[in-house]
Chain A
């Protein structure tokens, strides 16, 4: 018990260091979410499209990224690929955002595909009958309705993504969790710095959940 109390005392000076790691975590999550969202839309359009080759490729992509561990994908992207292509040192942050983005696109594409399929076929026909071509129909008519319906699922994906950024501690990025580990090693006391990370992750997820609900309510205006 005494050890724990002294541990908390020791960690106090390092709190700002650990806490500010949240910006790194959030940065990765946000970058990856944007990549994942755009990638997910493109993939889902390939999957529902008529071109067999694109459909096959998109399905294969999803299958590979969903079928292998994220931490392994991260290791391959950071340690493996730079080595075989002689790229020297790559920026671990860029690497993390790309890997998370590509991974998230696979999950996102399935969510979006489901959302598009759930929009009444008549919407597409009504737009067609008005002489609107494919892309504007998708962008202005189908996707807004699809995304409204899948907003909770997207929010879920983003929360998972945020928590999974803890994995990038394995490729030297000093985000929230990595900072806790560094501080823990310095003071030879693990519990207090880890607890700080834990609380931070939880607060962030609560804030995201709240923002998601507000966004959802705003988009339900037309209901």
Chain B
């Protein structure tokens, strides 16, 4: 279970997160939506401590990340995968090398085992034939699918998605969303920040609406999209749909 309690985050005088609390149970898919600058991404990055919350508590299973030493946090990150808007594949490594690097380095897998797992994952995301290519030879959608496979290669218990399709050409959005959806169907626990409302409706168990550093609504997708309770959320949905 991921349990973020009363998270505050300031960058200097700017208060990006103001008392954000969210619980994600095993197997749940939570989608966070909201306008740009509402703190969605910052909140997501607080969960694996890429950003250190100014105050508040982040629990992943039994571990309290906010009080842990940096070395122990690194350990916990193994089970919390993250996918970024801009992919961040390692450009000097081939697709396969991208996938086997962390499992070998961090988990101590043998090369054979790592390659075997990597090939299974590449097959799952439909990119096995690209395994010896360098990332710059791939399209955006392919890069993001490789990035997802790279995260999965660490066999995480949780996955965080930070606007995984926002940097993609429109015709590549679906191939990435399909991969995420099949992951959701396999029971992966996920927190997804996205602007894809249709997708949110489809995969989410819970939709969280954030604005100005706060969670304004947290509801089932059906309830949220058909009758949002706050004016701000109504306004937001009107503008984008």
Residues of A within 8 A of B147 (CB): 126
Residue in A122, A140, A148 whose CB lies within 8 Å of B84: A122
**Chain A, Cβ-Cβ closest to B103:** A130
* Interchain CA distance A77-B51 in the complex, whole Å: 47
Give A182 Cβ to nearest chain B Cβ, in Å: 48
Instruction: Report yes or no: A148 in contact with B92, Cβ–Cβ below 8 A.
Output: yes
Residue in A128, A145, A223 whose CB lies within 8 Å of B77: A128
**For residues 10 through 56 of chain B, which have their beta carbon under 8 Å from a beta carbon of chain A?**
48, 50
B-side interface residues, number (CB < 8 Å) = 29
Give A220 Cβ to nearest chain B Cβ, in Å: 10
Residue in B50, B71, B75 whose CB lies within 8 Å of A128: B50
Q: Is the C-beta of B198 less than 8 angstroms from some C-beta in chain A? A: no
Question: Please, what's the 1-or-0 string for A32-71, where 1 marks a CB less than 8 Å from any CB in chain B?
Answer: 0000000000000000000000000000000000000000
Residues of A within 8 A of B71 (CB): 133
Task: Tell me whether chain A's interface is mostly helix, strand or loop, or mixed.
Answer: helix
Question: Please, what's the 1-or-0 string for A103-135, where 1 marks a CB less than 8 Å from any CB in chain B?
Answer: 000000000000000001011011111111100
B contacts, CB < 8 Å to A: 48, 50, 71, 74-75, 77-78, 80-82, 84, 86, 88-93, 101-102, 105-106, 134-136, 147, 150-151, 154
A contacts, CB < 8 Å to B: 120, 122-123, 125-133, 136, 140-141, 144-145, 148, 221-223
Listed from nearest, the 7 A-B pairs whose CB atoms lie closest are: A131-B78, A126-B88, A129-B82, A130-B102, A122-B88, A222-B134, A131-B77
